[in-house]
Structures are given as C-alpha cells and as structure tokens.
Amino acid sequence: MGEPSGNDCDPVLLNSFIVKKQRCRVYFHRGVLIWESEAAPYIKVKLPLKHVVGVEYEHPSELSAFTNEIICQEERPEEYTSFTLHYVTQSKRSKLRLSKVTLTHADPIQVASWVKTIRNYIKELTYRPRCLLLFVNPYGGKKRGQKIYEKNVKPLLARAGIETKVVITQYRNHAHETILSQSFDGIDGVACVGGDGTLAEVLNALVLRAAKDKGIDTDDPHAELPQPSVPVGVIPGGSTDTIAYTLHGTNDIQTAVLHIILGESSGLDICSVHNENSLLRYYASMLSYGYLGDVCKSSEKFRWMGPKRYDYSGFRKILANRGYRSEITILSSDSNSPIDGPRCYRDCGTCKIDESSGEEKPAADWKTIKGRFFMVNGVNISCACAKAPNGFSPYCHIGDGCLDVILIKHTSIINILRLLLRVSSKSRTMFDLPFVEVHRAQEFTLQAMPDPKLELLDPDAPDARTSVWNCDGEVVQGTNIKIRVRRQLIRMFSQRMEEEEHEPSCFVWTIELLPQLPWLRVGLKYSGDKRRPGSRASRS
Ligand SMILES: Nc1ncnc2c1ncn2[C@@H]1O[C@H](COP(=O)(O)OP(=O)(O)OP(=O)(O)O)[C@@H](O)[C@H]1O
C-alpha cells in the first residue's frame, strides 16, 4: 500500500557527489539511494527513501552552522550546490533517531533535479500523514505535555512538512468532544501528547464517531464495528505511557514522533466493555477489577503527587484488600499459549491476518470460574512500561483478536509481594505462581457476587463488597459486565519494536516493584540466562 511502484525498467539516476568529504558515485533506483566512494577508503551506504523524513537545499557555507533548527528561507534552487537528507536510523533498545547527510555537487541544476526526484518519491508515500489533528494534554503525568510539544514534537513535524492542527486540552473529555464534532476533511491522522488516559479518550471517540457515521448501535455488544478512517499516533506525556511503550518498545518521545512521520501503521485490537444495557467504554491496554481498580479510584485524589500517587495508593490498597468474590465466564481461544509465547514483535506472525481463512473463527468453548480474587484482569496488550519492561502479560499480542484473562486469587501479602516482583522481572513471569491463572480468550464476563461475610461485618458499606474497574487508567463502575475483543479495530502509527535477541552479558538492575512499592527496591545482580523469556533465541 502507498509505496511508489517500481520495476526493473525504472530509470536509475546516477551522478557524482561529495559526501562527507569523499567523492562518491550516487545512484537512485527503486526507492533506494546508494552512495559509494570512488576511491579508498571504500564505503557503500544504502538508504531506502521510505526512511527519509525531509530533504532541503543548502549552501556549503551554511553547513558548519547548521543545527537541528529548521532553516526558514525561500528556496532558490538555481543557487544551491548542496542538499541535506534527514533520515531515520534505529539505535539501541528500539529508539529511532534523526540523522542527516549532505550531498554536494558543483552544478545547481543537478542538485535541483535530485531534490525534485527525492521529494516526488516521498510525496507518493501515501500512507504518510500530511495533516494531523494533534491533542496536547498539559495536565497528565508531570504536566510537561505542552513543553514536550513545543520542544520535541513541533520542530520534527515541521521538518517532515506535516501540517498540524493542535488542540491543547482544557478539561477532561475535551479531546473526546472535539473528535465527535470535528470535520475530518483533509485530516489523515490523529495523535496525542499524553498518557494512556488521553489516548483512551481519543480511541473511544474515534470508534464512536465511526460507528455513529455508519448508524451502528454501539450499545449492542454483538454489533460489528467499522474501523475509524484515520490512524492514530501516541507521544508519551503521561505517567506510565503503557501503550506507547508496548507499541514502540520504548517511551522515548523522539521515537514516537518519528513513528508518526514515517507513517507505517500496525493494527491494534480494541475491547468493548458493556453492562446489561449499554456500552461502558472501549479500552486498548488493560481492564482490571479489584486491586488495580481500587488503586485507580483512590489515586485520583492524590494527583497533586504526580506519578508518585500510584506508589502511595498502591501500598495502601495492598493492605486493605480482602479479595472480591466474583463469577467469571471465559470464551477461550485456541490461539498461542499466554504462558510461553511467542512474543509480539515487528512483523508478528500471530497478528498477521490470513485473508484466505475468511471469517471462520477458531474453535472455542466457555468456562466458568468462581472465587475470591485479589484482582481480575482483561489484558489486551503486554502492558510493558519502563518499570515492567516485559509487561504484565509478556506474551500478549496487539492484533491477534484475543486478550489474556489473568485471575489472581486472594492470597497473603507475602504472595502479593512475590507477584509484584514477577511483574517487574525481566526473566520470569507470574504465571507459575500457584495463585495465578491465565486464559487466552475472545470474550469474558464478570459478575460481582455478594459477600455474606463482609455483609455481616458492614451491611451499609457496599463499596467494601465490590470494586471498580480500572479501564486504561480510568475508573469505570459495573458489577456485571461483558468484554469482547474487536480485532485490529484501530491502526496505530508504529512499525513496532524489533526483537532483541540478547541482554548485556552481566548486569545489575534495580527491581522496582511495579509503580506501587518504591520503598522496597532490591539491587539484584543477575548473570543467568541472558535471553529474554520467549525470545526466538531462547525458544530455539
Ligand atoms: N486541561 C485538563 N485538565 C484536567 N484534565 C485533563 C485536561 N486535559 C486532559 N485531561 C484529562 O487528564 C486525564 C489524565 O491524562 P493522562 O492519561 O494523559 O495522564 P496520566 O493519567 O498522568 O498518565 P497515564 O494514563 O499514562 O498513567 C485524561 O483522562 C484527560 O481526560
């Protein structure tokens, strides 16, 4: 889709340029720019133009003074003997960086012809956004959203020639209301600078808008939902930024902006949450009843603490948790195992939709589980973040049409501490703990059950008997709900993260027990199996 087609008869552009003080033969053929030195030391570099963000003219005299600032001047091609290509390179740990190379030629006509050819090629990459609607949340995380936009986002988008309609959100649901009422004429992408809550607002509004435009009743849990017309980008500016981290493999801001600029997108599953009568919400990362629901509800009161509010509320709610009685029914899936992989990386085979298999659904069966739970989770993506780099459910896939239902039974505080250690561990998962159960599912329901013991203790405190849902970081009420996965309903601007085969040979890391327990930081020297669980290397 969207890439200029090429065949063997395509003309090859060929010329000699000075590149990094060396005389080089430069070719352009089938979307790839190649330069190789004409004399020793020999170099040959291949640059696919789909990695190029922008190209601009330069005078050689301007080169030394050139910084990352954009040169705002009128272009007069007949005067220039150099042009600079700004392109994306991948550095360690999935981070993308902007690099540049300048090519110089004595004849301005040659330079102008190359700039024109390259610009035309980039213009034909139709999957790249030309005009973005961008929401900036100045309130989330450490309240740095606006600064991030001015310093890290605006200059990069301008360099890529992307027109941006910016909305600084003034109140909760501002982004939601804007999307429902806004005309999308000429807009080919929506993005946000914010955390998971801001992105959830954007995703919910886009799905509702697409359904409304097609006259679909979103209160019907079985209604098929249309895909929103535009892809979505997320630039970390919140407290945990789980979705950005899971998609890109890092919460680095420049990486997130470059994923949007390059325009390639990946399909993300979205889950719908309904009660008996109506739609409650859509979510993209995790829905959690019990402990994390309680933390979400209580931490809102302490927002003035910034991200530390989760530490404080998390500790209090571990001590307070007496478990919640519930009945869960699960429509399981025979997709891959949630316990031992494979993991979801770039070009993931599990997420690839096999067009030839038609609409046929894999065999599945319903099962019912009753009990008292510390928490019940419907996990749609691995939920990796800086403090838990493998995520809550490391083998969960972003676009396989399934979620992982993780049931954590009510247990002792020591066991809860073991659980939290596992969540932040790079080498082990929580799934071998005896009080943890995981099911890969297409749908599930949860019915909160009255608790006779607690009712006797305090009949007037219904809040003590049921919890709330933490739905992508927002509180949702409901004691009888149904969750369904909508396969790849949203396209997210992300090429996904690459699989990293090996960790450094010997390293010290500090385990941070989720965001919840900073008071229990354990310096741990690790020198065992250097491969990540589920990496292709460790499975072979
Ligand atoms: N100007 C504003 N004033 C108050 N609330 C706002 C404003 N703009 C947006 N919001 C709301 O702020 C909420 C929290 O934002 P966000 O999720 O981005 O940050 P966070 O909760 O700190 O991060 P994370 O969700 O990653 O933990 C969102 O639900 C959004 O609706």
Average pLDDT over residues 377-395: 94
Nearest protein CA to atom 10 of ligand 1, as residue: 172
Residue 201 Cα, ligand 1 centroid: separation in angstroms? 9
DSSP 155-185: HHHHHTT-EEEEEE--STTHHHHHHHH---T
Taking a C-beta distance cutoff of 8 angstroms, is the pair 175, 198 a contact?
A: yes
Task: Please give the C-alpha separations between residue 538 and each of 187, 259, 433, 530, in angstroms, as whole numbers.
Answer: 44, 29, 21, 9
Give the residue, out of 136, 146, 172, 177, with the most ligand 1 atoms within 8 A of its beta carbon, to mutate for a pocket test. 172
Nearest protein CA to atom 15 of ligand 1, as residue: 140
Would you give the distance in Å from CA 423 to the centre of its chain? 19
Ligand 1 atom at minimal distance to the Cα of residue 310: 27
- Which residues, including other chains, have CB under 8 Å from residue 494's CB and lie 6 or more apart? 247, 248, 259, 264, 265, 266
* 244 membership: H or E segment, kind and range: helix 242-248
Instruction: Say whether the peptide bond before residue 228 is cis (omega within 30 degrees of 0).
Output: no
Q: Of the ranges 42-51, 353-362, 523-532, which is most confident?
A: 42-51
pLDDT, one tens digit per residue, over 58-90 is 865 544 433 344 444 556 777 889 999 999 999
Residue 264: the pLDDT is: 95
* 84 membership: H or E segment, kind and range: strand 82-90
**Mean pLDDT across the chain, nearest whole number?**
84
Pocket of ligand 1 (CB under 6 A): 137-141, 169-174, 194-198, 201, 238-241, 473-474
3-state secondary structure of 417: helix
Taking a C-beta distance cutoff of 8 angstroms, is the pair 33, 9 a contact?
A: no
- Residue 4's pLDDT band, with cuts at 50, 70 and 90, is low
- The yes-or-no answer on residue 196 being catalytic is yes
Neighbours of 505 (CB within 10 A): 7
Interface ipTM above 0.90: yes
3-state secondary structure of 216: coil
- Residue 91's pLDDT band, with cuts at 50, 70 and 90, is confident
- Residue 322's pLDDT band, with cuts at 50, 70 and 90, is confident
Residue 142 Cα, ligand 1 centroid: separation in angstroms? 10
Residue 504: the pLDDT is: 34
Name the nearest CA neighbour of 289 among 265, 261, 325.
Answer: 325
- Choosing from 196, 294, 311, 400, the catalytic residue is 196
511: left (phi over 0), alpha (psi -120 to 50) or beta: beta
Residue 30: the pLDDT is: 86
User: What angle, rounded to 10 degrees, do the helices at 174-181 and 196-213 form?
Assistant: 20
Average pLDDT over residues 413-424: 91
Which of 8-12, 387-391, 414-418 comes out lowest in average pLDDT?
A: 8-12
Give the residue, out of 135, 136, 137, 475, with the most ligand 1 atoms within 8 A of its beta carbon, to mutate for a pocket test. 137
Residue 276: the pLDDT is: 93
Joined tokens for residue 389: 């780099």
Whether the model clears a pTM of 0.90, i.e. scores above it, the answer is: no
Q: What is the C-alpha to C-alpha distance for residues 34 and 455, in angstroms, rounded to an integer? A: 74
pLDDT, one tens digit per residue, over 348-359 is 999 998 876 655
Q: What is the C-alpha to C-alpha distance for residues 225 and 216, in angstroms, rounded to an integer? A: 7
